[in-house]
Amino acid sequence: MASAPLRILGISAHYHDAAAALIEDGRVVAAVQEERFTRRKHDPRFPIDAIRWCLSHADGPLDAVAYYEKPLRKFERILRTAFRTAPFGFRAFCAAMPLWIREKLWIRMQIEDALADLGHDVRDRIFFADHHQSHAASAFYPSPHREAAILTVDGVGEWATTTIAHGRGRDITPLRQISFPHSLGLLYSAFTYYCGFRVNSGEYKLMGLAPYGAPRYVQAIRDHLIDLQPDGSFRLNMDYFGYLRGETMTNRRFETLFGGPPRRPEAPITARECDLARSVQQVIETALLALAREAHRLTHAPALCLAGGVALNCVANGRLLREGPFADIWIRPAAGDAGGALGAALAVHHLHFQRERSTDPAATSMRHAFLGPEFTDAECADALRAAGLRYTTLAPEALAATVARRLAEGAVVGVHAGRAEFGPRALGHRSILADPRRRDMQRTLNLKIKKRESFRPFAPAVLAEHAADYFAIDRPSPFMLITAPVAEKRRLAESSGEPPCDDNPFASLVTVRSEIPAVTHVDHSARIQTVDRESNPRFHRILSAFADLTGCPVLVNTSFNVRGEPPVLTPRDAIECFLATEMDALALGAHFVEKRDVPPALLSLAARRTFQPD
């Protein structure tokens, strides 16, 4: 007799990227970050809006709620750390305590009360997964692999910062653990902070900055900051870090080692920051390769699954794929704490309720990340009329052709259609698109549309059937989590103006390196999204129309937002972002809007909008 359907809600909250996810019989039904509703980037607060939306997709009552970590064990770590470093950590300890006493220690009651208000009695049905168990489950169970090594690397969970596990069938067996304060995620965050970016937000900027620099600090990092062993185990020298004793990531000894105080946020970036970024990136890649080899030695598994915030380092992922011991790697699209909500639900489903995985990988493996809210064409039209905008309604093929034509003419087009992406990457449903062949497009997008630093690279979306013709990649990359080189035959002989220097490390930005310069980074790399017709038909249609028109099956694809804000969720969010930037057109559901048709009074009002640092 078949078992009854099992319905589990997963929740992550109170650190960063709070989220909720709903699974039914091991199948992901809905998942979304709280930030999309509140418009507060990386919102850590209890995700009541995300929970409410996920429950609207439930076909019946909840059987369980899973929280993504164990708060009491995390609180124990904070207490032990404070006592061990006393009296130096007293100020940071006092700053953290009010939130713990007010909210974090009472998460069970917070869940019970919130779910009761939404009509669900979940008393005695709340489970707490281990933080790294949630990450591991989020990567392994939605993967197409029935056996895999699982590598989880992040800042810190309860105690673990790095774990190796072996996934087989429904089971996940922990094999190795490295514990706080020794952490690759915190090492990377220390350099993020030192280079003037926000911790838990600006790490991707550090990764994008790295190719502009030289690895001249690698030896200093290896000699003074991290003792890295061939098996991937490591220890940090805490004499150089401030996060144990205070509220900053680094200290004066760190500053002495690297030649001065941290860069002030928004201050000019110099060659020093570029070299620091390149150096720590190289160290992280070396460490991850060593950990992957150890995971392979321990498991002999054919594939590797990756999760944790460090798994969003797509440059390191590319090296793991090209140089690592595994035939395949699978990376959780929402690899950070947001994905922990989904992982907690899956862990409870398979490990507590002991439900088997489907024998058919296609039934439960995650082939796309479109798990969030969607809006009807009628709702989109209502939002456009409410905003006072004129629009044209088009059939799907005609809309794709219109978007492609405007892109080929040099326009920047916002696209909002279908279910929102779960995770930090825009994958064609909440995207800003542009022509990658234009040499000035990278600068235009950064300064006029995204309102952010000029050095930031952009990712290409490419028709899956043409990916190998433009990039050195031999497999799908649907989640934009792997970096690979632009194909040699697509590169051009480089001619540039003045060479980079301390005062202008980004002089090489003007260099045209390939046929698709807007998505070719200074080291000829690209963070690739492959788009196939089955899992992403709308975006595939636009790319195909652009390829038919231009002969190029590639587009610039960046998230539909401006700096300091999460990607747009609702039609109203999309309209506000469209009006506040120099975007040329908007495809909202089945409707198309030209900026030139927008009343000047609306544009004048939108121009007053301010943008927050990120």
**The pLDDT of residue 496 is above 70:** no
- β-partners of residue 10 are 21, 66
- Residue 420 counted as domain residue: yes
Q: Does 343 lie in the same domain as 323?
A: no
Q: Could you read off the pLDDT of 138-193 as tens digits, one per residue?
A: 999 999 999 999 999 999 999 999 999 999 999 999 999 999 999 999 999 999 99
Q: Does 446 lie in the same domain as 398?
A: yes
Q: Does 346 lie in the same domain as 302?
A: no
Q: Does 397 lie in the same domain as 302?
A: no
Beta strand 160-168 with 328-331 is unpaired
Q: Work out how many domains the chain is built from and give that number.
A: 3
Q: Could you read off the pLDDT of 241-263 as tens digits, one per residue?
A: 999 887 789 999 999 999 999 99
Q: Does 411 lie in the same domain as 342?
A: no
Which whole number is the average pLDDT over 42-53? 97
Which whole number is the average pLDDT over 342-355? 97
Q: Does 344 lie in the same domain as 288?
A: no
Determine the Cα–Cα distance for residues 3 and 512; give it in Å rounded to an integer.
60
Q: Return the sign of the alpha-carbon dihedral for residues 321, 322, 324, 325.
A: positive
Which whole number is the average pLDDT over 112-129? 96
Vertex 336 angle, CA 333 and 340, to 5°? 90
- The dihedrals phi and psi of 576, each to the nearest 5 degrees, come to -65, -40
Q: Does 216 lie in the same domain as 280?
A: yes
**Res. 507 pLDDT band, cuts 50 70 90:** confident
Which whole number is the average pLDDT over 373-383? 98
Determine the Cα–Cα distance for residues 413 and 271; give it in Å rounded to an integer.
34
Neighbours of 363 (CB within 10 A): 11
For the whole model, what pTM was predicted?
0.95
Vertex 211 angle, CA 224 and 551, to 5°? 155
Q: Does 382 lie in the same domain as 340?
A: no
**The pLDDT of residue 19 is above 70:** yes
Residue 218, pLDDT score: 98
Q: Does 324 lie in the same domain as 348?
A: no
**The pLDDT of residue 430 is above 90:** yes
Determine the Cα–Cα distance for residues 484 and 521; give it in Å rounded to an integer.
10
- Residue 433 counted as domain residue: yes
Q: Could you read off the pLDDT of 289-336 as tens digits, one per residue?
A: 999 999 999 999 999 999 999 999 999 999 999 999 999 999 989 999
Q: Does 322 lie in the same domain as 218?
A: yes
- Residue 479 counted as domain residue: no
The share of the chain scoring above pLDDT 90, in percent, equals 82
Range of the domain at 342: 7-142+335-360
**The pLDDT of residue 401 is above 90:** yes
Determine the Cα–Cα distance for residues 472 and 491; give it in Å rounded to an integer.
12
**The pLDDT of residue 361 is above 70:** no
- Residue 38 counted as domain residue: yes
**Res. 2 pLDDT band, cuts 50 70 90:** low
Q: Is 233 helix (H, G, I), strand (E, B) or coil?
A: coil
Supply the mean pLDDT for the chain: 93
Return the CATH number at 134: 3.30.420.40
Q: Is 362 helix (H, G, I), strand (E, B) or coil?
A: helix
Find all residues with CB under 8 Å of 2, minimum gap 6, and list them.
none
Which whole number is the average pLDDT over 408-427? 97
**The pLDDT of residue 133 is above 60:** yes
Q: Does 447 lie in the same domain as 559?
A: yes
Cβ–Cβ < 8 Å for 57, 29: yes
Determine the Cα–Cα distance for residues 168 and 174; give it in Å rounded to an integer.
12
Give 399-426 as a DSSP string: HHHHHHHHHHTT--EEEE-SSPBSSS--
Return the CATH number at 601: 3.90.870.20
Determine the Cα–Cα distance for residues 597 and 614; give it in Å rounded to an integer.
31
- Residue 18 counted as domain residue: yes
Selection from 593, 611, 613, 592 nearest residue 602 by Cα? 593
Q: Could you read off the pLDDT of 460-469 as tens digits, one per residue?
A: 999 999 999 9
**Res. 500 pLDDT band, cuts 50 70 90:** low
Determine the Cα–Cα distance for residues 71 and 76; give it in Å rounded to an integer.
9
Q: Does 590 lie in the same domain as 443?
A: yes
Residue 452, pLDDT score: 84
Q: Is 543 exposed, middle or buried, given 0-12, 13-18 or 19+ CB atoms closer than 10 A?
A: buried
- Residue 178 counted as domain residue: no
Q: Could you read off the pLDDT of 68-108 as tens digits, one per residue?
A: 999 999 999 988 888 888 777 777 777 778 888 888 889 99
- The dihedrals phi and psi of 173, each to the nearest 5 degrees, come to -110, 115
**Res. 605 pLDDT band, cuts 50 70 90:** low
Residue 503, pLDDT score: 61
Find all residues with CB under 8 Å of 57, minimum gap 6, and list them.
22, 29, 30
- Residue 225 counted as domain residue: yes
Residue 497, pLDDT score: 47
Residue 397, pLDDT score: 98
Vertex 256 angle, CA 255 and 260, to 5°? 55
**The pLDDT of residue 350 is above 80:** yes
**The pLDDT of residue 501 is above 90:** no
- Residue 130 counted as domain residue: yes
